[in-house]
Amino acid sequence: MTTRLRAALYHRVSTTDQDAAAAQKELRNAAARLGMRVAKNIEETGSGANNNRPGLLQIMHLARRGMIDAVLVWKLDRFGRSALDLLTNLRELESSGVRFIAVTQGIDIRPGGEAMSRLML
């Protein structure tokens, strides 16, 4: 029997006025299409420029501990706004063996793949 990959769904909104329900549904549907089990669902409110958001820190902790196999986000900018922080976090996910998928943008970065190298250029 094949073990299903453990996915962490991460969605950030900038203000409490924003409705994240549609994005959350899309993330769950994407995980199901990919045959992944949702191990963690994190939604938070805050600026993407802040790299010390509790939800983001939790995602990175889960990755370092080997507790997730993939991170799914709705859009890349929901994961972070600072290019340097974004690349640093994506590198850390890659080195932890965690796949990163931006569902609406067709971005799928697999550990050891070429996509990360191209993104860095």
Q: Which residues does 56 contact at the CB level (< 8 Å), separation at least 6?
A: 10, 12, 44, 79, 80, 89
Q: How many CA atoms lie within 13 A of 60 on its CB side?
A: 16
Task: Just list the catalytic residues.
Answer: 14
Full DSSP string of 36-83: -EEEEEEEEES-TT-TT-HHHHHHHHHHHTT--SEEEESSHHHH-S-H
Query: Which residue's structure tokens are 């969605």?
Result: 11
